[in-house]
Amino acid sequence: MAPTPPDDHASDRRNLDWYVDRGMRWIVTVGGVSAIVFIIGIFAFVTREGFPFLFDGFEAGEFFGSPAWRPTSEPNPTYGALALIAGTASVTGLAVLSAVPFSLGAAIYIAEFATGRTREVLKVLVELLAAIPSVVWGFIGLSMMNPLIIAIFDVPVGLNVLNAGLILGLMAAPIMTTIAEDALKAVPDAYREAGEAMGATRWQVTMRVVLPAAKNGLMAAVLLGVGRGFGETMAVLMASGHSINLPTSPFDSVRALTATIAAELGETAVGSEHYQALFTLGMLLFAVTFSINLAADLFVRGVRRG
Amino acid sequence: MRSSIVAVLISILTACGAPQSQQGGEATTGGRVVIQNKGSDTLVNVAQAWAEAYKQVDPNVAVAVTGGGSGTGISAMINGTVDLASSSRKMTEKELQAASARGVTPIEHVVGFDALAIFLHPNNPISEITLQQLASIYGEGGTAEKWADLGVKVPGCDSDEIVRVSRQNNSGTYVYFKEAVLGEKEYKLGSRDMHGSKDVVDLVENTPCAIGYSGLAYANEHVKMPCVKKEDGAACVMASEQTAKDGSFPIARPLFMYTAGEPTGALKSYLDWVMSDVGQCIIMDKGYASARDVTCPG
């Protein structure tokens, strides 16, 4: 038998409900902590796999300054990631340029102008857009946009920055719209009422009162869209042309960091220098997306405090 | 990534099923022998066809085939996780060193031949091409950037730019093309690096400006194959099973299976069967050339 509990009341409470409470509390805590464990675990794994390369074979000048990504060249492999970084940057940049006007427009309409059924239907549709698998987007880029771009712009191949950028813009737009709409909704109605009471039109209220009040949240929306674009793999792999180039026009084919990892990792001997170099690309991606998300989070916090 | 996960799963499964013998490699599960075969994507279709047909020959032997690339297969063979590595290229110096460091003596078996066909859009008027021209198109420092540099005008290709279609840098096809055509030189940057032989053919088919290379087995009626000359004065040879095998086609390569040490037992019987008339007719049926002369029915 267990020793007599010091407190009678405490032992009274140890019925089924007490155990359920304790158990559930424990499970929920594990769930909460697991996010931290996973993120640290992933970071440790990616770093561990890529680390040997950083000390042996890694030359920052070559990595960031040379476009020559020739990891399988014998006997002198070169690991220049400049073209890959430029590829990712150009595609993401174009994606943001094309997605921002549409998603801000959509968010403003849904939050400020649409009412009743229209609003609900639009919200659901935008969320549905976010649920389309990226390989389907890639397929659209490959089989629809490719011939279209060739026909319209008279270029030899339609798999390029323009194609991947537009596809990625479409993919990032629903996320931007949803978060931007939340940011607009977070602006207190009193602001709008005050504006309207002073005789401002609906549009004037939106432009001069609501948008400035929501600017941090809108910034976060754009940043999270950028993060989405930066990390996207499949659609970019399919639509960008997968070609090592420093792009000088939207019609150049490029290759993204993510696509390079996806295309090469499966056929690389585990632990080889090439494998480690790919993980170094992974570290770079991780660092950038982490900074973007952190920045977005700080902006949102700015909103809550303000 | 996916294939390596599959490989891990398979090795876990076989490890659970029965103790894996270090020498022969193949695992036995209740009297049933499982041979692990991994490697070249070029050979994966053939390897699967062999594995399928071998079920009828010896129902007690199962051959599990996974792709992943020649390099992946060879390193798995060195590490002892597979019994048989299919490869579309010879083992490199580095790989041989890695093998001897682990005390493994790789044995090479030539199981067939492949010809690397050059593919052009049907609009392209070029009907013969030299290795030197290919090198000036694909190789670093090569001067051919426009089709006009080769003296032709391609209808439908207004920009006149040569769109180079290539493979991702760890495919055996990529490595072999570099070795056979570019020699010591590197590839020019800016080629479209496709993730499979079929993608190469698809892109060339839809792009008048394009040129690509792939295994002969992937040719179809929508692309044009020029004959290839070793040098300017040499005879122009069409890629075919025959010219691949007799060595007259300048970019033909042997296809290999590697075993760790001399094969024994079930593995030996399997390889003997692969080299038999039946096995060799299967590889011919898949569009490659056989390793030795055989006459196949139909």
Q: What is the pLDDT of residue A259?
A: 92
Strand, helix or coil for residue A69: strand
CATH of domain B115-252: 3.40.190.10
Region of A268 (left: φ > 0; alpha: ψ -120 to 50; beta: rest) is beta
Q: Per-domain residue ranges for chain B? A: 3-114+254-290, 115-252
Q: What is the pLDDT of residue B24?
A: 43
**Does position B8 have pLDDT exceeding 50, yes or no?**
no
**Does position B23 have pLDDT exceeding 50, yes or no?**
no
Q: What is the pLDDT of residue B30?
A: 60
In the structure, what pLDDT confidence band is assigned to residue B18 with cuts at 50, 70 and 90? very low
Strands B32-39 and B61-66: parallel
B152: Cβ contacts below 8 Å, ≥ 6 apart: B124, B125, B126
CATH class assigned to B3-114+254-290: alpha beta
Q: How far is CA B237 from CA B139, B146, B228, B229, in A?
A: 22, 25, 5, 6
**Is the CB of A234 inside 8 Å of chain B's CB atoms?**
no
Do A269 and B163 lie within an 8 Å CB cutoff? no
- Summarize the confidence of residues A20-49 as an average pLDDT: 92
Cα(B6)–Cα(B36) distance, rounded to whole angstroms?
12
More confident residue, A108 or A14: A108
Q: What is the pLDDT of residue B15?
A: 43
**Longest C-alpha distance within chain A, in Å?**
88
Q: What is the pLDDT of residue A280?
A: 92
Nearest CA in chain B to A67: B189
C-alpha triplet A263, A265, A269: angle, nearest 5°: 135
Cβ atoms of residues B275 and B284 within 8 Å: no
Q: How far is CA A145 from CA A139, A148, A293, in A?
A: 9, 5, 30
User: Average model confidence (pLDDT) for chain B?
Assistant: 85
Nearest to A49 by CA among A291, A305, A274: A274
pLDDT of A205-245, one tens digit each? Answer: 999 999 999 998 999 999 999 988 888 888 998 899 889 98
**Does position B6 have pLDDT exceeding 70, yes or no?**
no
Cβ count within 10 A of residue A124? 10
Nearest Cβ partner for A72 among B3, B74, B169: B169
Q: What is the pLDDT of residue A303?
A: 59
Nearest CA in chain A to B166: A243
Cα(B197)–Cα(B176) distance, rounded to whole angstroms?
14
B3-114+254-290 and B115-252 share one fold: yes
Q: What is the pLDDT of residue B27?
A: 57
- Summarize the confidence of residues A129-155 as an average pLDDT: 90
pLDDT of A12-31, one tens digit each? Answer: 667 888 899 999 999 999 99
In the structure, what pLDDT confidence band is assigned to residue A9 with cuts at 50, 70 and 90? low
- Summarize the confidence of residues A266-271 as an average pLDDT: 74
**Does position B127 have pLDDT exceeding 90, yes or no?**
yes
Spell out which residues of chain A touch residue B2, defining contact as CB-CB under 8 Å: 266
Do A266 and B94 lie within an 8 Å CB cutoff? no
- Summarize the confidence of residues A249-261 as an average pLDDT: 92
- Summarize the confidence of residues A66-95 as an average pLDDT: 89
Cα(B187)–Cα(B137) distance, rounded to whole angstroms?
9
**Does position B7 have pLDDT exceeding 60, yes or no?**
no
| Complete domains list, chain A, with CATH | 85-305 (1.10.3720.10)
In the structure, what pLDDT confidence band is assigned to residue B2 with cuts at 50, 70 and 90? very low
pLDDT of A185-198, one tens digit each? Answer: 999 999 999 999 99
Chain B residues within 8 angstroms (CB to CB) of chain A: 1-4, 68-69, 71-72, 74-75, 92-94, 157-159, 161, 163, 168-171, 174-175, 186-187, 189-195, 203, 206-210
Cβ count within 10 A of residue A280? 23
In the structure, what pLDDT confidence band is assigned to residue B29 with cuts at 50, 70 and 90? low
- What's the whole-model pTM score? 0.76
pLDDT of B64-118, one tens digit each? Answer: 998 877 888 898 999 888 999 999 888 988 889 989 998 999 999 999 998 899 9
Count how many pairs of residues, chain A against chain B, have C-beta atoms within 8 Å.
Answer: 92
**Is the CB of A192 inside 8 Å of chain B's CB atoms?**
no
Q: What is the pLDDT of residue B11?
A: 46
| A142-179 as b/e: b if 16+ CB within 10 A | beebbeebbeeeebbbbbbbbbbbbbbbbbbbbbbbbb
Q: pLDDT exceeding 70 applies to what percent of chain A?
A: 94
pLDDT of B201-218, one tens digit each? Answer: 988 998 899 999 988 888
Q: What is the pLDDT of residue B12?
A: 44
